[in-house]
Structure 1
Amino acid sequence: MRSPLLSPRWLGLHLAALLVALVCTAGAYWQGNRAFEPDRDVITNPVEDLADAVPVTDLGEPGTYLHPNLTANTAVRARGRFDADAQLLVPQRMDGTEGYAVVAPLVTEEGVALAVNRGWSAEGTEPPPSPEGEVTVTGWLQPPQDSSEGFVPMGESEAGTAERIAPSVLVGEWDYRLYAAYLTLPGSDPAAGGLTPMPPPEPPTEFSINWRSLSYSVQWAMFGASGVAFWIILMRRELAEARARNTGGASEESERDPDQPAGAGS
């Protein structure tokens, strides 16, 4: 016997349920994408103008934690003397080319050092020495580099090099108290010495969710789930009624006297 769910009426209901599911899925997907669109990235700390630089001493004490909002593109200035003998090369790629960031400690009058990234030098070239005498440098404060930045050369590290620009690494190379960040100089700073300037990283961003679109996405999903659930309930009810009709007909047939002609009176 043909299933009651294959009747013309039910074929129309199946098609309607499929359309409802497709429309609700498309609506949920569309609103979900709108809720997490890339243009909803919000710059939390843009690169500051060096004209607005503040003394590094205003941002915190040496060795103490500095909030990421402070150690990301904040324009600062510092005064001191470079320890030219302590200058280090840190492996760093620039536009796909291997080379080194030239890093030297700027020692303030308090005896505290700030790691200064003077610029980039291609591999195989001799970087210029650090300037002598007391200088004032102005640049962008940066958080310590992690192991994902730069590149790690093969083999053992050479003398005069460091793995990355991070106080946790540099403290083993320099006998100074260090600030928990480093300074990146622009190419125009005299202390850069003609090195290729290394631009500060992209400004940090926070992700902003469009809650209205997200709520619409959830509503579309709920409508679709409700439509599918209603469709399933209707099918179960139709099948149950069909079974009941078939069972009732079979019972009446079994109770009828087999010797009595169909339709005969009692």
Structure 2
Amino acid sequence: MAAQTSPPRSIFSPRLWGAHALVIVFVTGAVMLGVWQYESSQQDKQDQVAQLVHAKPKSFTDLIGPNDSFPWEQIGRPVTVSGIWMSSETIFIDGMERGSEVGYWAVTPVLVEDTGSAVYVVRGWTPEVASAPPAPRGHVTVTGWLQPSDWADVADDRKSDNVFPQLDIADLISRTSYDLYSAYMVRSPVEDNWPASSMPVNDGATDVADVPAPQLPEPEATTGLRNLLYAIEWWLFGVFAIYVWWRYVRDTLRRPDDEDDEGDEGDDATPPPEKAPQESHVPSEA
């Protein structure tokens, strides 16, 4: 009989290098493919958000009424509102960043004549209140992104001026004589290849920088789901490969002596004693 080859005694044995290399290649590939599928799912969501942000604007009054709560399913959607600038009610929001600079939002409400209520419109960003352009006047049609009221708990230490730490509609209601909508708008820039490019230019945007929408619309829950499931599937393949590798290495490192010992234990076991046959007592005939 051929002599049995002794198994490796260490996980670093050259006989196991092939298994190590194979599992590293497979797990690395599974992880990278999973990351690629995950990034694809996130890109699908970003693409859908970009489409929603640049969709055809809807009428502001069709989405929200003067006494309605904020329609959260419409957050970040482009809307159009027509009315009259309320230049005397212009306010500024402090602490607004634009790149590395910190300045102010220039905000002026628009009175919607059909409802008699007003909606605050963020016209743009300015580095200083003193250098802000004069508030616009007259009738206007503004296209912008629908945003909810700010709810941050920030105290206003300067109640005597028109500078506020946040655009809180509930706080502004007590400081104006007009009824306010529970939402505000961020003026959108006039861009090519977007319906907003055909809208009237907002005169209040002169000499102020464009402001991006603070909150964007939410993509659908199923957007990118297929790619996400593919990513999870690849990662599970990687976990399974590690399990197979571990079982293979464990079985390879197991000593044959251990199996022989298990077999010897079975051979050395003392069988239970056999019962001696009992004599049958047959009653003698009288």
TM-score normalised per structure 2: 0.66
Write out per-residue CA displacement over residues 240-263 of structure 1, whole angstroms, 9 at most, x where no aligned residue.
236569999xxxxxxxxxxxxxxx
Question: Alpha-carbon deviation of 1:74?
Answer: 0.8
Question: Alpha-carbon deviation of 1:124?
Answer: 5.1
**Contact 1:102-1:118 at 8 Å conserved across structures:** yes
Distance 1:174 1:231 in 2: 76
Residue 63 of structure 2 is aligned to residue 59 of structure 1: yes
Q: Tell me what 2:135 maps to.
A: 130
Residue 227 of structure 2 is aligned to residue 215 of structure 1: no
Distance 1:239 1:223 in 2: 28
Question: Alpha-carbon deviation of 1:94?
Answer: 2.4
Q: Tell me what 2:207 maps to.
A: 195
Residue 124 of structure 2 is aligned to residue 112 of structure 1: no
Question: Alpha-carbon deviation of 1:137?
Answer: 2.2
Unmatched segments (≥5 aa) in structure 1: 249-266
**Contact 2:57-2:77 at 8 Å conserved across structures:** no
Question: Alpha-carbon deviation of 1:57?
Answer: 0.6
Residue 62 of structure 2 is aligned to residue 44 of structure 1: no
Write out per-residue CA displacement over residues 131-182 of structure 1, whole angstroms, 9 at most, x where no aligned residue.
334x12222123236579xxx9xx9446211122342443343344332332
Q: Tell me what 2:175 maps to.
A: 173
Question: Alpha-carbon deviation of 1:90?
Answer: 0.6
Letter of the 1:225 counterpart: Y
Q: Tell me what 1:184 maps to.
A: 186
Write out per-residue CA displacement over residues 71-122 of structure 1, whole angstroms, 9 at most, x where no aligned residue.
314131222x333332111122223222211112222232211111122222
Q: Tell me what 1:228 maps to.
A: 246
Distance 2:256 2:82 in 1: 82
Letter of the 1:194 counterpart: T
Residue aligned with 1:173, SS: coil
Unmatched segments (≥5 aa) in structure 2: 1-5, 191-200, 267-286
Distance 2:175 2:264 in 1: 90
Q: Work out the number of aligned pairs and report it.
A: 235
Q: Tell me what 2:28 maps to.
A: 26
Q: CA-atom RMSD, angstroms?
A: 3.6
Question: Alpha-carbon deviation of 1:36?
Answer: 1.2
Residue identity (%): 18
Question: Alpha-carbon deviation of 1:31?
Answer: 2.0
**Contact 2:145-2:213 at 8 Å conserved across structures:** no
TM-score normalised per structure 1: 0.70
Moved more, 26-35 or 164-173: 164-173
Residue aligned with 2:72, SS: coil
Question: Is the alpha carbon distance of 1:195 and 1:164 closer, same or farther for their aligned partners in structure 2, counting shifts above 3 Å?
Answer: farther
Question: Is the alpha carbon distance of 1:173 and 1:239 closer, same or farther for their aligned partners in structure 2, counting shifts above 3 Å?
Answer: farther
Residue 148 of structure 2 is aligned to residue 144 of structure 1: yes
